[in-house]
Structure 1
Amino acid sequence: MLAGRPDRSVPPAAGIIGTPRRGALLMTTVPLWTDAEVERDPRVRAVFDDIRATRGSPFVNNFWRGLANQPALLERSWAALKEVMSAREGGLDPLTKELVYVAVSIANGCSYCIHSHTAAARAKGMTAGQHADLLAVVAMASQTNALANALQIPVDPGFLVGGERAG
């Protein structure tokens, strides 16, 4: 039995997510909690209620449903994400945060996060042109990063904190 989850030999739909990828179905490595299961665990229910209230939507995505198998991890992860992605005075605006999240997700190869944060960026006003520019910047950064790493180019002293500024 996983943290508060009822025993059962096969999770609903055997963990299959209906997103085909090159002819195969993606499989979860943990069961995704249903709303009925969430209602039986007060810790998980509290986080899901906060997700719904914070986002102003009844939808709770599969990422959180998978983390529900470990309520402490679910609580920590939601609290940290909510803190980092919230609008703060003097900080980045919500759309910029989503764009950064998409860029890092591309760099890390996280298809789930690429899709979920691209959808979030669109909901926050990202245009098709901004998306195209984001992808162009990510592609260019990937290329120049690879070149700088392959050639082992030393960092200019003026780029280092406390280093001399190039004139």
Structure 2
Amino acid sequence: MATQTLLGDETAGPEARAVFDDIRLKRNTDYVNNFWRALAHDPALLKAIWERLQQAMAPGALDPLVKEMIYIAVSATNGCSYCVHSHTAAARAKGMTPAQHAELLQVIAMASQTNALANALQVEVDERFKT
């Protein structure tokens, strides 16, 4: 159960509605998802997160699909079901194949296991890995 109500266009304030409109415009959609609607209670935070997300996820040195796959991995590690679902949908829209998704899940699972083992064993970092 959500800890915050979701604000619709009719209940959100003008600052939040402006962000909703920008989301619709930039994503070429009429849909504003629940994450943004929950953040709309704090229009300044909503705007800041939307602006930072656009910057982080914009094409750059990393391909947009790679960025979505990284987002999935971090979200899975942090236990954010909402973000796993949202960014899996975004990755599929950007061309992620079922085979790529399967490999991604294998990497996430392997990294989680080896991270836990290295942490539990408190393995000292090799000098050559330090920069």
Normalising by structure 2, what TM-score?
Answer: 0.97
CA-CA distance at 1:117 after TM superposition: 0.3
- Equivalent residue runs for 1:124-139 within 5 Å: 124-139=94-109
Deviates more, 1:49-58 or 1:61-70: 49-58
Q: Which has the higher helix share?
A: 2
| 2:11 aligned to which of 37, 42, 58 | 37
Normalising by structure 1, what TM-score?
Answer: 0.77
- The separation in 1 between residues aligned to 2:48 and 2:10, in whole angstroms, is 22
- Structure 2 residue matching 1:30: 3-state secondary structure: coil
Aligned-partner residue type, residue 75 of structure 2: S
Instruction: From the CA coordinates, give the structure whose radius of gyration is larger.
Output: 1
CA-CA distance at 1:34 after TM superposition: 1.2
- Point out which structure has higher relative CO (alpha carbons under 8 A, 6+ apart): 2
Corresponding residue for 1:113?
A: 83
Q: Identity of counterpart residues, as a percentage?
A: 62
| 1:102 aligned to which of 72, 77, 94 | 72
CA-CA distance at 1:35 after TM superposition: 2.1
CA-CA distance at 1:28 after TM superposition: 1.0
Corresponding residue for 1:93?
A: 63
- Equivalent residue runs for 1:149-160 within 5 Å: 149-160=119-130
RMSD (CA atoms): 0.7
- The separation in 2 between residues aligned to 1:86 and 1:58, in whole angstroms, is 21
- The separation in 2 between residues aligned to 1:153 and 1:93, in whole angstroms, is 33
Corresponding residue for 2:36?
A: 64
Q: Which segments of 5 or more consecutive residues in structure 2 lack a partner in the other structure?
A: none
Provide the aligned length of Structure 1 versus Structure 2.
Answer: 131
- Structure 2 residue matching 1:96: 3-state secondary structure: helix
Q: Which has the higher strand share?
A: 1
List 4+ stretches of structure 1 deviating above 4 A: none
- Structure 2 residue matching 1:36: 3-state secondary structure: coil
- The separation in 2 between residues aligned to 1:42 and 1:160, in whole angstroms, is 50
- The separation in 1 between residues aligned to 2:62 and 2:68, in whole angstroms, is 10
